[in-house]
Amino acid sequence: MKRLYYVSRFAKRLRPEELGAIDRISRKKNPEQQITGFLVCLGDTFFQVLEGPDDAVDHLFFEAIKHDPRHEEVLCLKSEVGIRERLFSDWHMRIFDLNAQGETLPFAFRQMLTALLDSHHVLAQYTQPSVFRMLEMGVNPTSLLPRQIEATVFFSDIIGFSLFSQWLTPGSLIDVVNAHIEMCTQVISQHGGEVNKITGDGVLAYFSRKQSDAAIAAGLDLLRETKRRRQLASATSPLHYLFGGVGLAHGSVYEGNIGFALKRDFTILGNTVNLASRLESYTRELEVRLIMNHDTVSCAKRQWSFISLGRHRLKGQSRALKLFSIQELETLNVRDIYCAIEARYAP
């Protein structure tokens, strides 16, 4: 059996007769599905515990409750599987309406639940999307075993960042970094990729094995959006000098938890990850904006205008690799970028 705890915020406060209707429906349907538990109603917030057969609990929560238009947000707090004994065997869904109680108790509980939901939103901003989705589904990410998968790894960072960091004020430097990260995360998410981590001024992401085209499209969209931001920025703004490179590497990666009790990270590791970073750095050497390995090109299904950059021996790689780019991309004059940043900001 399974036991699931969740909290939700309703679009509007329920009237007593609406809560009564929920009570009647629960008493009728839940015995048929062998569902037990309880529900606490407080203001516009529900706290509920469901227990019963795995399929019945999952169907009720993920298919009914999560899609109920009366809910503005639903947060799964905890999910326990393999339970042998019910905690609420006599309650097919007992409802506690704290709104009918005195003022002190509902106010205290409302503060607690509001703080819980607010912290959920803050946590979402600092948590890797895939990990956060696991938490929302009641899955404990620390329990997942490592696995080997095939993916297209995406890496991008800011060209000339070391110069920016020497001469910009802290506020201006953070604005530049945030602009680049915002553009990266938006295009990666729009094309179905997974942002894995922010590495200072860089973004590491990955796409599934069948998404090489999506990774290429995300890289091109990033370069277009960066150019648009430069054109909109004033000549005195650091964004006027914002350029980024893109490295794409398709291959095998290891996905799983690293770290210990005090600090954990759910991440990807392996030579393909290192290669994506090396390819991005090599955009400076070859003066191109996007570089990908041969496997990325081989897995692509769309008719891209690939151009060969020849064979190159990259740091950390045991052999020379065939590298490719996209024909219509503008060339990258790194020296001019460095000189422009230095001329504008060097004391």
8 Å CB contact between 155 and 246: yes
**169 and 233 belong to one structural domain:** yes
Domain hosting 11: range is 2-136
User: Among the listed ranges 85-94, 191-200, 332-341, which one has the minimum average pLDDT value?
Assistant: 85-94
- Write the pLDDT tens digit of every residue in 105-145: 555 566 666 666 666 666 656 556 666 566 666 666 666 77
- What stretches of 150-299 show up as alpha helix (H) in DSSP? 161-167, 170-190, 212-232, 271-286, 294-299
**167 and 42 belong to one structural domain:** no
Which position has the higher pLDDT, 68 or 244?
244
Q: Which residue has the tokens 């750095």?
A: 281
User: Among the listed ranges 59-63, 125-129, 186-190, which one has the minimum average pLDDT value?
Assistant: 125-129
Using the 3D structure, point to which of 87, 115, 136 is the last residue of a domain: 136
**68 and 165 belong to one structural domain:** no
**254 and 129 belong to one structural domain:** no
Measured in degrees and rounded to the nearest 5, phi and psi for residue 158 equal -90, 130
**174 and 195 belong to one structural domain:** yes
pLDDT exceeds 80 at position 304: yes
pLDDT exceeds 80 at position 104: no
Q: In CATH, what number is assigned to the domain containing residue 59?
A: 3.30.70.100
**266 and 283 belong to one structural domain:** yes
User: Among the listed ranges 48-62, 233-247, 255-269, which one has the minimum average pLDDT value?
Assistant: 255-269
pLDDT for 120 = 60
**298 and 227 belong to one structural domain:** yes
Give DSSP secondary structure letters for 3-41.
EEEEEEEESSPPPHHHHHHHHHHHHHHHHHHT-EEEEEE
Which position has the higher pLDDT, 324 or 24?
324
8 Å CB contact between 204 and 154: yes
Q: What is the pTM of this model?
A: 0.69
Q: In CATH, what number is assigned to the domain containing residue 175?
A: 3.30.70.1230
Using the 3D structure, point to which of 103, 136, 169 is the last residue of a domain: 136
Q: How many domains does the chain have?
A: 2
**125 and 204 belong to one structural domain:** no
3-state secondary structure of 75: strand
Task: State the Cα angle at 179 between 177 and 185, rounded to 5°.
Answer: 100
Mean pLDDT of 184-206: 93
pLDDT for 113 = 61
Mean pLDDT of 65-82: 81
**61 and 98 belong to one structural domain:** yes
Q: Which residue has the tokens 């569902």?
A: 35
Computed over its alpha carbons, how large is the radius of gyration of the chain? 26
**313 and 164 belong to one structural domain:** yes
**64 and 188 belong to one structural domain:** no
Using the 3D structure, point to which of 108, 136, 164 is the last residue of a domain: 136
* 316 Ramachandran zone, left/alpha/beta (phi>0; psi -120 to 50): left
Neighbours of 225 (CB within 10 A): 17
Torsion, Cα 338 339 341 343, to 10 degrees, reads: 160
In whole angstroms, give the CA distance from residue 196 to residue 130: 9
**96 and 132 belong to one structural domain:** yes
pLDDT for 327 = 94
